[in-house]
Structure 1
C-alpha cells in the first residue's frame, strides 16, 4: 500500500467498521441539511427584506392612504400587514357597535398587526431549530466517533501486544478524522444560526416600526411629524392624511 492510500480519509472510515460508518453518514446528513437550510434561508431573507423595503418606500411615497393601499406587492410581508390592518379597521367601523364592552378600534387594529408580525416571525424562524440542533449535536457525534477510534487503537494494541505505528495509525487517524468532521459540520451551522437570528431581528424591527407608524395613521388619521417638518406643514399634512383616512373608513369629511 502506498502512502496516498495509507492516509486516505475515506479508507480509514470504511475500515473502521459499521459504527464509524454510521457516525460518518449521520454527520453527512446533518451537513447536507444545514447547508441546504443556509442557502434557502439566505435567499428567503434577501427576498423578504427587499420586498419589505420596497413596499414601505412606495407606501409612504403615495399621496394618500387610499393610493398607498392600492399598491400591489403580494410578496411583501409589509403589504399583507397594511391590508390586513385596513381590513380590520373597516371591519371595526362596520360591525363593532360602540359600547363599554366592545373592543376599541385602536386595539382591534393592533391585534391584527400583531397577528401578521407573529406569522412573519414564525415563517422566518422555520428551519432555524435544525441549524441549532446540528450546531449543538455535531461536535458530540464527532466526539463519539473519536472515542470509538481510540477504542479501536487500544484494542489493536491489546491484540498485538505492541504499540507499533502500523497497529494504531488507522484507528487514531479515524479518531482525528471524526473530530475534524464534527467541527466542520457544527461551526458553519452555529455561525449561520447566529447570523439568521440577527437578520430576522432586523426584518421584524422594520415591520414593527412600519406597524407602529401605520397604527398611528389608521387610528388618528395622521402620521407622526418628522423632526425637520415645520409646525405649519405638519398641520397641513395631518389634515390631508385625516381626510384620506376618513375616506377609507367611510367617515364623512
Structure 2
C-alpha cells in the first residue's frame, strides 16, 4: 500500500498513468515524448510505478511495452475509499480499463494480481468449470475443464445458454494457458485470444491476464477482467464466493 501512495505522489507519474489509461501498451519512446524530462528520468518514474505493480511490461522484439494495471488501485479503493462513501457515490469510483485496438504483436490488455494461495489451488480455480462458477461475476454455472489443447470451459446464462467460452490453444501445466476467447453477448461475437500466466512468488502466487486482438465492438472487457480477478482472489484467500457484479446487477 505504501508503494502505491508513493507512486501516486508525483505529478509526472500520475501523467504517465493517465497516458496509459488513454492508450495502453506504449513504448518508452512514446511516453518520453509526452513529458518534459530526460529519457532516464522517465525510466526512473516507470520503475517506481512497476515496483508498485501499477504498470506491467511485456517485451516484443526490440520494444518494451507498458500497460496500466488498475487492480491495485481497485483494491486500495475497496479498502480505503468505498467504506466511507454512500453507495451511489461509490459507484462513481469504479475503475474502467481503457482498451484501444493495437497490433497483433503485443497484448491489447494486461492485468495482474497477487493471491495468497498455492499453485495447485490457483490452477484448479482457473481450469475447472465447477470452481469457476463459484466466483465468476457474470455466471453461476460453467461446464468443462481446461487441461489440454482443445478443452473448453463454457460459461452459461441462467437459462443454460452460452455467455462465453474459453477454448485451449496451448497449455503448460500449472504455468500458462493460451485460449480462444469467444463472447456470446452483444452485437460482436468475434473471437480474440487471451493468456493466463501463473507464477509462484515468495509469499504466494501472481496471476496475470493478457488479452490480444480485442475487437473494437466488445467494450467492457477490461472491467470484466477486473471483476474476474477480484473474484478469484477473494475466493482463494477466504474460501467464500463473492461475485463482483456490475452495479446494475448488484
Q: Given the two structures, how large is their TM-score scaled by the length of structure 2? A: 0.23
Which one has the bigger helix percentage? Answer: 1
Which is richer in strand? 2
TM-score (norm. length: structure 1) = 0.23
Does 1 or 2 have the higher relative contact order (CA < 8 Å, sep 6+)?
1
